[in-house]
Amino acid sequence: MLMPSRSQEMQQQEFEESMPTWQQYGEPMPGMSNMTNGLDEMFCMMKIRTNIDIPSRADYFNQRGSRVAMVNSQKLPIMNVVQMSASRVVLQKNMMITPYWHMNCHSLMGRYCIPQNYAVLKRAAENQMFHWVSFMTNPNPMKSQMVGKKSVLRAMPLQVLMYSYRLSMEQVRMLKFRRQHEMTILGPMYQMQMGSNE
């Protein structure tokens, strides 16, 4: 004699009866509040890893292959939690990064700790590449450059620079406008002079 199988409805009813009432009706567990702020979901869904060594993801690059890639809290939100940011710089032979300083953080580069508001200049040797990773103590570091398109000196009036540094007007113009078409990564000066003579 064959017995009919139990229906799906009966199985569901038995399952619900075996569950505690707080699970059955979607109520919060005893001792837990019903209010959630979404942080648990935010941390579970947060991207925690990225590769800053991929050349196509560089923030600044030039035609000779040098590049700068930065990771801050806009690109990787977990950086806001750890209160840090990072950058990866690859300089080809004889290239350099514009002199700059960080206005709101300290910077760690290998064994060096560069304090906030101290100017830094990095240059690759004539016969080899130079690359490094830096860590900054702020998730959104602010950088002021001293040379190039985004130079703070370009914003100053000529007379202020002339009297502050005791320079002639010609020297001040050269200081302000010499590398006005370059930004962040600078090529060697002899190539610029050859290009301007042609």
Residues 6+ away with beta carbon under 8 Å from 159: none
Structure tokens at 111: 């064994």
At residue 62, the pLDDT reads 86
At residue 81, the pLDDT reads 87
- Side chain identity, residue 181: H
Q: What percent of the chain has pLDDT over 70?
A: 72
At residue 18, the pLDDT reads 61
Is residue 52 one of the residues assigned to a domain?
A: no
Is residue 111 one of the residues assigned to a domain?
A: yes
At residue 197, the pLDDT reads 45
Residue 89 near residue 67 (C-beta atoms within 8 A): yes
Considering its fold, how many domains does the chain have in total? 1
Q: Rounded distance, CA 84 to CA 105, Å?
A: 9
Which residue segment(s) compose the domain that 135 sits in?
57-188
Give the domain CATH number at 126.
2.60.120.10
The CA-atom distances, in angstroms, between 101 and each of 28, 52, 98, 121, 173 are 52, 22, 10, 9, 22
| pLDDT, mean of residues 138-161 | 90
pTM: 0.66
